[in-house]
Chains A and B, each alone.
Chain A
Amino acid sequence: MILLEPREQPSRLLAVLSPVVAIALMLFAGAIMLAAMGQPPLQALYVYFFQPVHELWFYLVRPEERAMWIYTPSEVLVKAIPLALIGAGLTICFRANVWNIGAAGQYTLGAIFGGAAALYGPEGSPWLTLPLYLAAGAFGGLLWAAIPALLRTRFNANEILVSLMLTYVATLLLDWLVRGPWKSPTSFGFPVSADFTDSYLLPVLVQGTRLHLGLILAIVIAVALALMMARTLRGFRVRVIGAAPRAGAFAGFSQSGTIWFVLLLSGGLAGLAGAIEVSATIGKLQPEISASYGFTAIIVAFLGRLNPAGALLGALILAISYIGGENAQILLKLPKNVTGIFQGMLLFFLLACDTLIRYRIRWTSASAGAA
C-alpha cells in the first residue's frame, strides 16, 4: 500500500521552484518520447521550446533586424492573450476550491454572444461597438458558468462534471449556429458566419503583426485581480472559503456567494477571451475557434502558482509550446497532438512536484496497512 505522509517542514524554496522542476522533468520525459518517435531528441526539443525563445532573443538584441524576427514574439503574445485571460480567472476559482473545468465552454459561449452582437448589432464608432461586443462576450461566458454555480449551490451538484459537460453542449451549439441560422449566404456551403464588420474587429497594436488590443486588457485584468486577491476583503474571502469553509462561516463569509462570485468571474473572463480571440484572429464564427485554450488555461493557472499575475507568465510558457508545436509540425513533420502531450506532461509533473514537496511517499506492506 502507498501512503502519503505530510512532511514536517516542506521546503519553501522547492515550493517556489516547483514549476522550474516540472518544466525540466517535462523536457526530460519529452526527450525520451521524441527519441521513441525516431527523432533526434535534443534537436527536436530545440525546435519545440528553444527556437521560439531563440527568436525572441534575436528580436530583443538585434533592433536593426526586428522586422525579420517579429513574427515569433508577436505570435507568442497572441496565443498568450486568451490563455492569460482564462488562466487568471481560473486561479481565483481554484483558490476558492471551486473547480471550473469548463472554461472551454464558457469561452465558446463568449464567442457566440460576441458573434451575435457583431452579426446583428448596430454599426458605428468602434468606441461604442467594441465595448458592446466585449460585454456581450463576457456576459455569454458568465451565463454559461452560472449553470454550474446554480446547480452547485442549490443541489450540491459537482461543478467539475457540470462545467465539463457543458463544454460539449457549447461546442454543439456553436456548430449548429454556423451550420444553420447564422451561416453566411456567401460561404459556398462552408459552416461559417458572415465576416464581422470593421466596427467589431479588435484593433491591431503593432503594424505587420496580429498583436491586438487584447494584450493590454489581459495585463490590466490580471494585475487588477492580483491586487484584489492580495489587498481586498473580497479576495480574502475567496482565500478563506477555499482554505477552510468552516472558518469562512465563522467570519460571516457566505460560501455559496463565493462560489457564485468565482464561477461568474472565471466564466466571464473565459467568455471575454472567446470574444476577443474570434474578433482578433478569425473575424467570423466557425466551428473551430481554439476552444481548447480553456483546458490549457488550467495548466496556466497552476504554472502561475494560482496567482492571477503569475498566470501571465504561465500563459507565455504555454504559448511558446504552441508556437514550438507549429514549428515542429512544419520542420519535423510531427503531429500536432505532440504539443498536447507536452502540455499534459507539464501539468502532471507540476501537480506531482507540488504534492511531493508537501508529502513523502511511504510504501507499506498490506498487513501493516490494516493495523
Chain B
Amino acid sequence: MDTPAGQTALFEARDVSKLFGTFAANDKVSLVVQRGEKHALLGENGAGKSTLVKMMYGVMQPTSGQFFWRSQQVTIPKPAAAREMGIGMVFQHFSVFDALNVAENIALALPPQSMRGLSDSIAEVSEAYGLAIDPERAVHTLSVGEKQRVEIIRCLLQSPQLLIMDEPTSVLTPQETQILFSTLNKLAEDGCAILYISHKLEEVKTLCDTATILRHGKLVAHCDPGKSSAREMAELMVGDNIANLARNGATQPGDARLEITDLTLPADGDFGTALDRISLKVHAGEIVGIAGIAGEGQPELMDALTGERLAGTPATIRMDGAPLGRAGPTDRRAAGAAFVPEERNGHAAISDLTLSENVILAHHTAEGVAGGGWIDFGKAADWTRRIREAFDVRAGDENPAAGSLSGGNLQKFVVGREILRKPGVLIVSQPTWGVDAGAAAVIRQALIDLAWDGAAVLVISQDLEEVFAICDRIAVIYHGTLSSAKPAAEMTAETVGLLMAGGTLAEDAA
C-alpha cells in the first residue's frame, strides 16, 4: 500500500476475505482511504463491492483480514459501532418512513433530542451543503432525489469522517446527480472522506480522485480515474473485451403492433402513481424505450400492459389490432404478447419453484404446457432446456429451484422464456437490472434480434445508457404522463434528463 509519507490513512482494510460457504465474495481485498479523499469502489454487479462496504459498516463480519481506523486495528461488530467511529453510509435502498415527515425520519436515527433543535441543525446542514429540503414535509411527497437528501442529512448530522455512498445516482436524474456531486465535493473539502460505489465510469471520472476496482471478489487494480480512460477501467471491471451490440442498421418500422390510446388508471394505494392519458404506438421491427426515474408510474404502466390491472375500455390497448384493454394476461399472451416484469423474484418467477414450474407460469395456456388442465411436465422440461441453451443459463442441477440461480442467470431465464416464444409484442421492464455486463449484453442483443425479426419491443428502463444503446425511439414517463416518443438519434442524455425531471422540450412547449 503506498501511503503518502507523513499522512496517516483514515481507514484501511488489509487482506479482507468474506466466504459464503465455499464462495469467496471478497478474496483478500485491501483498500486505503485517506482523509478528504473521494475514493471510487468500482466493479460489476456481484463483484463484491456491497459485501466489502457492509463489512466496513458492521452489517457483516469478515471471515479473515483486518480493518484499521487511523492506524488502530478495529473490529466493527455492528452499524452503531461504525457510526460511533465516524463511518456513515447511504444505502441504495432508502430506509425512510413514508408516513413521517423529514425531521421525524431523521430524529429516528439520532439520540433523543428536541425537535426544534433538530430542525435547526437540519436547516444548518442543508444550507452548508446545498441539500435543499423542508424539515416539515411528509416524506411520501418527496421525489427520490429528495429522499436521498434525507438519508445524507441523517448521516451528516452524526459528523462522519468517512461517508459510504452505495450507487447513489442510480435513482437520480442527470441534474440531480450534478447537485449531489457538488454536495460531495464540499464535504470532501471539509475533510470528510467519501467512498463512492458505482459501476458508472463517467461519474467516477468526474467525481473521484482515486479508484479501487474489484472483479469476482478480488482486487484487480488501484487507479486514478482522471488519468485512466473509461474504456480501460471498464476492461479492468469486466475482464475481457466488452461485447459490442450488433445492430443491423436502421430498420424500416412496419405496422403498429402495440397501440396504447389514452390509458388512464387511478393510483393503486396511497403511494402509487396514477396514469394520465398515456398514448404510444410501437411498430413492427422497432424498440421503443420508456425512460424515467423510479416511481413515476412504471409499475402501474407495466401492470396495465400485462393485464394484471385492466384498462377502462378494450380499445385502450390493442395488440396487432385486437382490442385487449379488458383482457387478462392469459388472453394477451394468446394474442402473441409476452412480458418481463421488473421484479424477478415473486413476480416474473417464484424462487421456491423449479425452472420448469416457472415455465408453466407464463406458458400454461399460450404454449399449451398445461393444455386441457393437465400439466405436461415433459414439455415444460423441454422449454427449460431450450431456454438454458439459447441464453446460457448456468445453474447446478438440470432443473433447480429458481431461487438458487444468480440474479443474472435468472434474468436471462425469464427473458429467454418470453423471447423463445417469438412474441409479436414484447414488453419488458428493467431488462438488465442488477445483472452483470455479460448477461446484460446477451439480453440486449436478444431484444434487438427480436425486433429485427419483426416484433414490437417496448422497454421500460431507468438505465439511460441502456435506453440509448438499444432503442429506436425514446419516450419519458413523469408523474404518470408519457412524453411523445422521439427518435433516439434526436435526443441526448440532457434532453431526456430534462424530461425525466418534469421539464418539457422547447418544441413540445411551443
Contacts and interface: CB of A to CB of B under 8 A. Distances in A.
A370 B80 CA distance: 9
A232 B375 contact: yes
B321 to A, nearest CB: 21
Given A243-B350, A244-B350, A250 B329 contact: yes
A186 interface: no
Contacts of A239: 353
Given A233-B364, A236-B370, A371-B78, A250 B375 contact: no
B27 to A, nearest CB: 19
A246 B306 CA distance: 12
Interface in B350-381: 350, 352-353, 357, 360-362, 364-365, 370, 373-375
A244 B79 CA distance: 32
A368 interface: yes
Contacts of A251: 329-330, 360-362, 364
Contacts of A371: 78-80
A246 B375 contact: no
B353 A243 contact: yes
A252 interface: yes
The size class of the interface chain A forms with chain B is 20 to 34
A370 B373 CA distance: 51
B333 A252 contact: yes
Contact of B373 (A9, A234, A254): A234
A342 to B, nearest CB: 32
Given A8-B20, A232-B375, A247-B361, A252 B349 contact: no
Contacts of A367: 80
B329 A368 contact: no
B116 interface: no
The size class of the interface chain B forms with chain A is 20 to 34
Contacts of B375: 231-233, 236
A341 B352 CA distance: 34
Interface in A352-370: 367-368, 370
Contacts, number: 72
Contact of B361 (A9, A231, A232, A250): A250
From A231, A240, A247, name the one whose CB has the most chain B CB atoms within 10 angstroms.
A247
Interface string A41-85: 000000000000000000000000000000000000000000000
B307 interface: yes
Interface stretch (B233-241, B339-347, B392-400, B484-492): B339-347
A236 B78 contact: no
Given A233-B374, A236-B357, A252-B307, A247 B79 contact: no
Given A247-B349, A247-B361, A368-B80, A252 B329 contact: yes
A250 B358 CA distance: 11
Contacts of B364: 233, 236, 251
A-B interface, 7 closest residue pairs, ranked by CB to CB distance from nearest: A252-B330, A252-B329, A233-B370, A371-B80, A244-B346, A249-B308, A251-B361
Interface of B: 20-21, 78-80, 306-308, 328-331, 333, 339, 341, 343, 346-350, 352-353, 357, 360-362, 364-365, 370, 373-375
24 contacts: A232-B370, A232-B374, A232-B375, A233-B370, A234-B373, A236-B357, A236-B360, A236-B370, A243-B350, A243-B352, A244-B346, A244-B350, A247-B350, A247-B361, A250-B306, A250-B339, A250-B362, A251-B329, A251-B360, A252-B307, A252-B331, A252-B333, A367-B80, A371-B79
Given A232-B370, A233-B373, A250-B308, 17 more contacts: A8-B20, A9-B21, A232-B374, A233-B364, A233-B375, A234-B373, A240-B353, A243-B350, A244-B346, A247-B350, A247-B361, A250-B362, A251-B362, A251-B364, A252-B333, A254-B328, A368-B80
Interface of A: 8-9, 231-234, 236, 239-240, 243-244, 246-247, 249-252, 254, 367-368, 370-371
